[in-house]
């Protein structure tokens, strides 16, 4: 869809605060505004989680999920879920392997927006453009650090995914999912070398595929 309004540097300064994009768009009557972000893009195990959020009010203390402690993220997650319109899509590893990471990510962003109960007038996405959205949109570089609705989406996506990885850790304790959340770390590499991948790993990822030649799938590892 054609972008009806693209905030210019003279309109929105990146140091103008987390709500600058929303306020600039609102001055032009473009509300409500949805923010979209994902968690788990760089992981080699576990799902990709995509969230879309429309904030109904400004939330004190809101920030990019990566800038908050785990406890602060949990508290902010509860506030966002109580006060905002939220859509969440979970994309399992098998779908990521079959369709590809980026294609799955773009599709997940569309699906998350479609779950919102309020129709957005404008959509801000983190990092890259997403064609086929139901309203004019803008890809914002490091959007989770400069746009409140994208920051809120980053929190919802990360907390949702982290909780899922903690649950997976109870089922597959040998991999340490509760610690590294499926990302590539020395601990995770060592577990893959010892046990091979389990059913929740992404077999199309190089780190996992490398172990497939030497190990059978470790789906029964406990």
* pLDDT for 110 beyond 60: yes
* pLDDT for 163 beyond 70: yes
Give SS3 for 48.
strand
Summarize pLDDT for 35-90 with one digit per residue, the tens.
Answer: 999 999 999 999 999 999 999 999 999 998 989 999 999 999 999 999 999 999 99
The domain segmentation of the chain, as residue ranges, is 20-166, 168-212
> CA 128 to CA 17: how far, in whole Å?
21
pLDDT for position 64: 87
Cα R_g (the chain), whole angstroms:
18
Fold (topology level) of 20-166: Nucleotidyltransferase; domain 5 (3.30.420)
At 210, the pLDDT band (50, 70, 90 cuts) reads confident
| Cα dist from 64 to 29, 72, 148, whole Å | 26, 11, 8
* pLDDT for 218 beyond 50: no
pLDDT for position 166: 98
Phi-psi region of 127 (alpha: psi -120 to 50; beta: other; left: phi over 0): left
Q: Please state, for a pLDDT cut of 90, what percent of the chain lies above it.
A: 84
Pairing of strands 122-126, 137-140: parallel
In the 8-state DSSP scheme, what is residue 201?
B
pLDDT for position 126: 94
> CA 25 to CA 14: how far, in whole Å?
14
* pLDDT for 219 beyond 60: no
Q: Comparing 148 with 12, which gets the higher pLDDT?
A: 148
Least confident residue range of 16-20, 61-65, 174-178: 16-20
pLDDT for position 134: 97
Which is nearest to 221 in space by CA: 202, 198, 201, 204? 198
Mean pLDDT of 122-127: 96
* pLDDT for 222 beyond 70: no
pLDDT for position 217: 45
> CA 214 to CA 80: how far, in whole Å?
45
Asked if 143 contacts 125 with a C-beta cutoff of 8 angstroms, the reply is yes
pLDDT for position 10: 40
């Amino acid at each position: 869809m054609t972008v009806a309004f693209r905030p210019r540097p003279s309109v929105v300064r990146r140091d103008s605060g987390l709500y600058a994009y929303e306020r600039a768009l609102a001055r032009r009557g473009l509300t409500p505004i949805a923010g979209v972000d994902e968690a788990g893009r760089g992981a080699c195990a576990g799902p990709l989680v995509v969230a879309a959020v429309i904030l109904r009010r400004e939330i004190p203390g809101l920030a990019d999920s990566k800038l908050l402690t785990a406890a602060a993220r949990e508290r902010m997650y509860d506030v966002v879920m109580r006060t905002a319109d939220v859509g969440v899509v979970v994309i399992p590893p098998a779908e990521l392997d079959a369709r590809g990471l980026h294609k799955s990510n773009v599709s997940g962003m569309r699906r998350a927006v479609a779950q919102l109960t309020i129709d957005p007038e404008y959509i801000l996405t983190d990092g890259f453009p997403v064609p086929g959205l139901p309203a004019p949109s803008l890809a914002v570089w490091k959007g989770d650090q400069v746009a409140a609705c994208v920051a809120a989406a980053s929190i919802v996506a990360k907390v949702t995914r982290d909780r899922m990885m903690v649950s997976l850790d109870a089922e597959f304790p040998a991999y340490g999912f509760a610690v590294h959340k499926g990302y590539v770390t020395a601990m995770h590499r060592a577990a893959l070398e010892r046990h091979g991948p389990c059913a929740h790993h992404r077999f199309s990822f190089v780190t996992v595929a490398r172990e497939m030649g030497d190990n059978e799938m470790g789906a029964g590892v406990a």
